[in-house]
Amino acid sequence: MAKNWQNLTAAELGREIGAGRINPVDLAEQHLDAIAKHPLAERIYARLTPARARAEAMAAHGRARRGFRRGLLDGVPISWKDLFDTVGVATEAGSALLKGRIPERDAEVLEVATQGGLVCLGKTHMSELAFSGLGLNPITATPPCINDESAVPGGSSSGAAASVAYGLAPAAIGSDTGGSVRIPAAWNDLVGLKTTAGRIPLTGTVPLCERFDTIGPIAKTVEDCALLLAAMEGGRPTDLGGASLSGMRFLVLETVALDDLRERPAQGFEDAVARLAAAGAQITHGKVPEVAEAMGLAALIFTAEAYGIWRDRIEAAPQKMFPRILERFRSGASFAASDYVAAWRRLEVLRRVWLEKTAGYDAVILPTSPILPPQAGRLMTDDPYYVTENLLALRNTRIGNLMGLCGLTLPTMQPSCGISFLGAPHQEERLLRVGAAAAKALR
């Protein structure tokens, strides 16, 4: 194992395995060794699965030797957010409420990915029960941000992004209910894909809001995200060849998304838009007023469902929770069932209007987050700061969840500042081609 493979993308590793230049067993061992030696690893991984990783890598090596690889990523190791059930290994979703919870089988998405040859390195830390966009978790651990170790990394797939950014996994699988894949991806200068709700089965995942919960990859490239999406579904990856921005039409969303934009995220977004235009994209600025109305429904819809799912478990032992997360869950208790139903009926109307108004564009673009990663220490001691930063962190990404869309975030030239592309529901393949073309322009 003379070579360091930790800087390669998942796709590059897969090609090296296919060419016989990397043994998947050596690859898994190098990552397990790197995790064991890394000073921040305990803040990134909740627990490792070394026996499983070695067995899966050995099987992948055997398939490679016989010429029976199951796909380009067969033998590539990745990390999994600690809300995906792993047979015989604790899955606790960042919460003391679930301490010692050991599933009897894998989550469905993990089963499919394993059948496709992906190697499971372990489970990554996350925001408690996935209910924060910051990644701050004093109950289990707060992972570091690659650009500032004293700042939070974004959540709730915090350790997922950190595992990739710090070279402790080639790629990671997270979940996104209000931005939980895209925020940590953006703050750690990575690519993150939010899939359409319902596209990837949630069986065997710890829920937050089941009508919004989605599963998605965090990786170094759009190609890796395309390959991981295919691996999670047992399908064929999107062909990204020949993707070009020439003639593509993008709508810069002015409603809500550009409000209170801080200096560096604004600079990163403006530079990115200019680069897209220079590469041939047609840029239009416009408003979609329905976004503001949908945002007004968010507190009701998200918290009511989350509290409805978790009420009994929470109220049996509220002292085990981080008080700010507990308070957020409990805010859902104040809404009537009739208001919840009415809000969802109205949101379905707003979603149809959104699709009508954006149908002529290849994607709607906006800053992934209007803020930079906040300081973890201040978040712990300053309650108003915590509330403000958490709401702002989630604001732009939540638009995609509310409108039922798929979304992709790409890094910009500004560290920890991403640009997001929103596509129509179940149009991930088209969005990935848009992203592949955009990534070339943004380099």
Q: Which residue among the candidates 127, 157, 180, 416 is catalytic per the annotation?
A: 180
d(CA 375, CA 103): 35
Instruction: Judge whether 287 counts as a catalytic residue.
Output: no
CB contact at 8 A, 101 and 64: no
d(CA 423, CA 433): 11
d(CA 319, CA 309): 18
In the DSSP assignment, the letter for residue 320 is: G
Helix (H, G, I), strand (E, B) or coil at 262: coil
Q: Which residue among the candidates 127, 156, 369, 420 is catalytic per the annotation?
A: 156
* Rg of the chain on CA atoms, in Å: 20
Strands (E), 146-286: 172-176, 191-194, 214-219, 249-253, 282-286
* Distance from the Cα of residue 401 to its chain's centroid: 12
Instruction: Judge whether 95 counts as a catalytic residue.
Output: no
Side chain identity at residue 399, one-letter code: I
Phi-psi region of 442 (alpha: psi -120 to 50; beta: other; left: phi over 0): alpha
Q: Give the Å distances, CA to CA, from 235 to 37, 166, 175, 395, 429.
A: 36, 29, 20, 32, 12
Quick one: how many helices (H) and strands (E) in the chain?
Answer: 15, 11
Instruction: Judge whether 156 counts as a catalytic residue.
Output: yes
Q: Which residue among the candidates 79, 81, 132, 157 is catalytic per the annotation?
A: 81
- Sheet with 45-48: list strands edge to edge: 45-48, 119-124, 77-81, 172-176, 214-219, 191-194, 406-411, 418-423, 363-367, 249-253, 282-286
The neighbouring-strand residues paired with 175 are 215
**What is the end-to-end Cα distance of the chain in Å, rounded?**
31
d(CA 150, CA 173): 24
Catalytic residues, which ones? 81, 156, 180
